[in-house]
Amino acid sequence: MSNILEIKNLKKYFPLKSGFFQKVTAHVKAVDDVSMEIEKGEILGLVGESGCGKTTLVNTVLNLIEPTAGEVVFDGKSMYKLSKNELRDMRKYIQIVFQDPFWSLNPRMLVKDIIGEPLNVQAGMNSVDMLPKVEELLEMVGLPKEGAFKYPHEFSGGQRQRIAIARALALMPKLIVLDEPTSSIDVVSQAQILDLLNNLKEKFDLTYIVISHDLSVVNYMADKIAVMYLGKLVEYGDSRTIFKNPRHPYTKALFDAIPDVYTENIEDIATLEGNVPSAINPPKGCRFHTRCPKSMDICKTHEPELIKQGDDVKVACHLVNDIRGIKEEEARNKH
């Protein structure tokens, strides 16, 4: 299968300015040298605590912010080498469904105008031509076509999320970012929305990036997962392998809340304490060392590389990786 999305050595540093001349005094390293690929038809789960860089990464992929360095290749084309027109065309193929349909749907607009907006703005369709398409989209997400003439508040939370999905589907995208797709709806609707998303993916050969704090959602949906900590990718690869045997202490700690369901080595599971440190001056060496229960001296001085472990997983941790080379180098430097 070919890649729909390739993220290559992506960095996004936000400058911090201070003083009368607004001099740049520091940078927030929100995303720091992240690379990953998503194949067509795949579901990537993006996990990590708030402040780990997930949103900045996705906003860069959505082309809402420019990266400091690196490249994003979508469907074979480098996004930062496109002309304005080409970029506008490409935006049709990447859509987002936001976390909270209460806020993402304009309460003053009829559903037909909410779903029809991208058809009008990006495909130039008039309101007469738009209506049959809007009705078709409503039925596609399991809502009656009569809903087109109602307002968002006339629907339940789950139904509103269906409207948001219908809007994202309007331009027949190739990639949809699902930002906490079920966090603001009831449990029964959550299961129905996940089923709907899976069915739509199969029917329209879609690719998803799922951002979720709910690891059961990621476990249910994702083929591959990317675990981020303080702007870095710390574990990345096949979802089943990682859920069965998380190797990075941060991934293990994230899974701690659900150890008996998803992991084999329960006794090896760590509890995550404290908060994510500031991304302005991230800790030297391994960025997780200030919270890691397995931290060693080497972790405070040497940043672990993301290295392949087996066929389908990469991990950035000195516990897992072969650190003989670093130790030999340290011994040489001492003499």
Sheet of 313-315: strands edge to edge? 94-97, 175-179, 207-211, 43-47, 224-229, 232-238, 313-315, 307-309
Instruction: Supply the DSSP symbol for 144.
Output: -
The least distance separating ligand SF4 from the CB of residue 237, rounded to whole angstroms, comes to 16
* Sheet strand arrangement including 23-39: 23-39, 3-18, 69-74, 77-78
One of 123, 131, 319, 326 touching ligand SF4 (CB under 6 A): 319
Distance CA 65, CA 141 (A): 30
> Does residue 313 interact with ligand SF4 by CB under 6 A?
no
Shortest CB 87 distance to ligand SF4, Å: 38
The rounded distance, in Å, linking the Cα atoms of 30 and 54 is: 9
Q: CB-wise, 54 or 289, nearer to ligand SF4?
A: 289
Q: Which residue among 112, 224, 289, 314 contacts ligand SF4 (CB under 6 A)? A: 289
- To ligand SF4, the closest distance from the beta carbon of 294 in angstroms equals 4
Q: Give the count of alpha carbons within 13 A of 280, CB side only.
A: 7
Q: Which of 174, 239, 304, 309 binds ligand SF4 (CB under 6 A)?
A: 304
- 229-248 mask for ligand SF4 (x: CB under 6 A)? -------------------x
Strands (E), the chain: 3-18, 23-39, 43-47, 69-74, 77-78, 94-97, 175-179, 207-211, 224-229, 232-238, 307-309, 313-315
Please state, in angstroms and rounded to a whole number, the distance separating the CA atoms of residues 300 and 90: 43
Q: Does 292 bind ligand SF4 (CB under 6 A)?
A: yes
Residue 317, interface with ligand SF4 (CB under 6 A)?
yes
What is the x/- site pattern for ligand SF4, positions 245-264, by CB under 6 A?
---xx---------------
Q: Residue 139: what residue type? A: E
Residue 209 or 292: which CB sits closer to ligand SF4? 292
198-227 residues near ligand SF4, rule: CB under 6 A:
none
Instruction: Give me the least distance between CB of 166 and ligand SF4, in Å please.
Output: 42
Q: Does 295 bind ligand SF4 (CB under 6 A)?
A: yes
Chain residues binding ligand SF4 by CB under 6 A are: 248-249, 286, 288-289, 292, 294-296, 299, 304, 317-319
